[in-house]
Chains A and B, each alone.
Chain A
Amino acid sequence: MSEHEHSQRPIEIRLKSPGYLSFSRRVILGVLGTALAGGVGAVLSALLYTDGMRRLMLAYLVAVAFVLSISLGSLFFILIQHLTRAGWAVLIRRPAEVFALNVITVGLLAMPIVVFAFSGTASIYPWARGLQGDAAVVEQSTEHTRLQPNPTVRMVSTQIDSSSGADKESERARSHGEGSLGAEQPHSGNDAKEDLQSHLYAHQTFDELTASKTPWLNPTFFSLRLILYFGIWSGMSWFYFSASRNQDEVGGSEDTLRMERRSPPLALVFALTLTFAAFDLLMSLNPHWYSTIFGVYYFAGCAVGGFATSLLVWLVLSRIGKMPAKLSEAHFRDLGRLLFAFIFFWGYIAFSQYMLLWYANIPETTGWWAVRGASLADGYRSSWGYVLVLLLLGHFIVPFLGIMSRHVKDNQRAMIGWTIFILAMHYVDLYWLVMPEFRPWIAFGLPEIGSLMLVGGLYLIGATYIATQTALVPVGDPRIAPSAALKDMY
């Protein structure tokens, strides 16, 4: 058989026996302990903090969206490698396959979100709140929205007001003293915060507008969709993982061709499921708001997270001698270039989304931004604006300029630092998408850190388990020798 002759060809990679990953018990226990400590901290915070359960669930959603983005970014990496028949990345694709398959762990970790969607008024999703016989809430807001179809209108123009809001308005004017033009000074104290909340967080009451979206946004359909998404992602990842591992044993090009043939339709399925999952998990936190580019925005973050993780895993594991193959510096450089490109892509998409909504200046689309600190109007400034500026600098401008130079991409120690920094900023990105829904000033503490430790720790345990089930390089792929000999163009 010619296929067997292929696999018999000597591979110019020195494999330590047998090229499987192993960690000492201490490391594994350390990660488990971190997860456990995080879990304890998270549960404690839910009991101790005001509105602790809601905050914990939002923080938990951030952590799950973060690890999900790493898995989806890795899946995307595998898909484009096969779509473009890229030989250069054969040697480095296995960690991406491991992290992609780890979407199964994310699926298990996402279960509390699904369960919590059924908890009625306690749910973090406003669309899930009206369905537990809370008729008073629905009725009251129905009256409100009849008078004024878009509740967020009040956010921008305080002149226009409905009868239901008039009392509050005059009260606000009174509380800030006569002579101050419509309470222009930034408010202080709880009063101001409540005031701001009632303006910015109108979307959190289950009103007519939200009710009209319940055919799509209801707990049952939501959970079914999530099961579908995770099922599809797990199936795709399992296909690529098992085909690649099968090739380790039988060799030949059959599996490579199979993976390539399926990649175009799977890429389409991937794009659709990722987009809708971003809509469901993150965008529906504000059911009044919509942005058609939101799925692409989350995807850009996924790509950044996935590439940064692949690069970090290779850099760190090569450094501590866990990797069986030695990468040429061209591999690191090319991965760094991909990461660089998608950092710019993220900035491009993030700015596109912002600019179009800002320019159109329609209240129903700017409300989401005002909650996230983008408004400089008096009374609407909030500390979330600092996070927004941090994102602009830390997720775009600083890493863009920082890893632009080839000399930085060649410096492996520097790239370890940069990938960790970029992953941290990617977390901040998702944090900024979700947490402003909790309150109009920064909330970062035990719930956020605890749930990140819990989810991140369990995610790493899952990834480590999957990684021990396979060799760390696809030794059976016929293109592995040319990939190992990869050289740069210049």
Chain B
Amino acid sequence: MSNSPPPSPMDTGSITYADYEVIGTGSPYALVAEFDSVAEVMRAAEKVRDAGYLLWDVHSPIPIHHINHAMGMRPTILPWITLAHGLAGLLFGLVLTWWMNATTVPGLSASVQGYQFLISGKPMYSLPANIPIIFETTVLFAAFGTILGLLGLNKLPMLYNPLSRSRRMLRSTVDRFLVVIEAEDKNFELPGTARLLQSLQPRAVELINEER
């Protein structure tokens, strides 16, 4: 844990320093620490959270209960996105069924007028008959809102990520747990952040640079 030289832009491939390995060249993208178990990564996450980092993440092959607390994540706004879309769907269904069944607007083309079918003596716009349609549009919009909101909040689809060059990242889908701190975080510095990660006793710490 002594002073280690900062990664030089000339470096290629993986070079082991005292504190961390380096992958790629160019400016730093992120530091990765690799752990063996859920318990270790939970403890590590709490330390990183307490050190005040914001742009960082935990990668795990399995869902970890309460990792959000260990990471200090604020509650997601996804439910509100779902609710807003659901309400929009409700309104859309209402207007759709009302317009198609019960409107005659003078001067408008026949192709966009309401149909005006009288069905079994019921009023032109009869709410009970249209509730299934309104229900469906509500659910449809809410579902689309949720999935699109999920993609948006996770910045997906992301076609390239420098992390994908790390072999350790691949094992995070099998049997390893990773803490990744991005270089854009305002607290990120080398070698300070690397030392913090080393102090959490990971299997290894890795610096991933922007370019190959």
Across the interface, which residues of B come within 8 angstroms of A487, CB to CB? Answer: 65-66
**Is B68 interfacial (CB 8 A cutoff)?**
yes
Let me know if A489 and B128 touch, CB within 8 A: no
**Is B105 interfacial (CB 8 A cutoff)?**
no
Q: Point out which of B63, B65, B68, B129 has the most chain A C-beta atoms below 10 A from its C-beta.
A: B65
* Min CB–CB distance B75 → chain A (angstroms): 9
**Is A272 interfacial (CB 8 A cutoff)?**
no
Across the interface, which residues of B come within 8 angstroms of A361, CB to CB? Answer: 120-122
Q: How far is the CA of A359 from the CA of B65 in the complex (A)?
A: 48
Q: How far is the CA of A490 from the CA of B63 in the complex (A)?
A: 10
Binding site for B on A (CB under 8 A): 351, 354-355, 358-359, 361, 487-490
With both beta carbons as reference points, the residue of chain B lying nearest to A489 in the complex is identified as B65
Q: Mark B47-87, 1 if CB is under 8 A from A, else 0.
A: 00000000000000001011010000000000000000000
Binding site for A on B (CB under 8 A): 63, 65-66, 68, 120-122, 128-129, 131-132
Given contacts A487-B66, A489-B63, 7 further A-B contacts (CB under 8 A): A351-B131, A355-B128, A355-B131, A355-B132, A358-B128, A359-B120, A490-B68
Q: How far is the CA of A403 from the CA of B72 in the complex (A)?
A: 26
Q: What 6 A-B pairs have minimum CB-CB distances, sorted nearest first? A: A487-B65, A355-B128, A361-B120, A358-B128, A490-B68, A489-B65
Let me know if B129 and A359 touch, CB within 8 A: yes
Q: How far is the CA of A359 from the CA of B129 in the complex (A)?
A: 7
Across the interface, which residues of A come within 8 angstroms of B132, CB to CB? Answer: 355
Across the interface, which residues of A come within 8 angstroms of B122, CB to CB? Answer: 361
* Min CB–CB distance B208 → chain A (angstroms): 28
Let me know if A354 and B68 touch, CB within 8 A: no
* Min CB–CB distance B127 → chain A (angstroms): 10
With both beta carbons as reference points, the residue of chain B lying nearest to A405 in the complex is identified as B79
Q: How far is the CA of A106 from the CA of B65 in the complex (A)?
A: 42
Across the interface, which residues of A come within 8 angstroms of B68, CB to CB? Answer: 490
* Min CB–CB distance B14 → chain A (angstroms): 36
Let me know if A354 and B63 touch, CB within 8 A: no
* Min CB–CB distance A293 → chain B (angstroms): 15
The 12 sampled A-B contact pairs (Cβ below 8 Å) are A351-B128, A351-B131, A354-B128, A358-B128, A359-B129, A361-B120, A361-B121, A487-B65, A488-B66, A489-B63, A490-B65, A490-B66
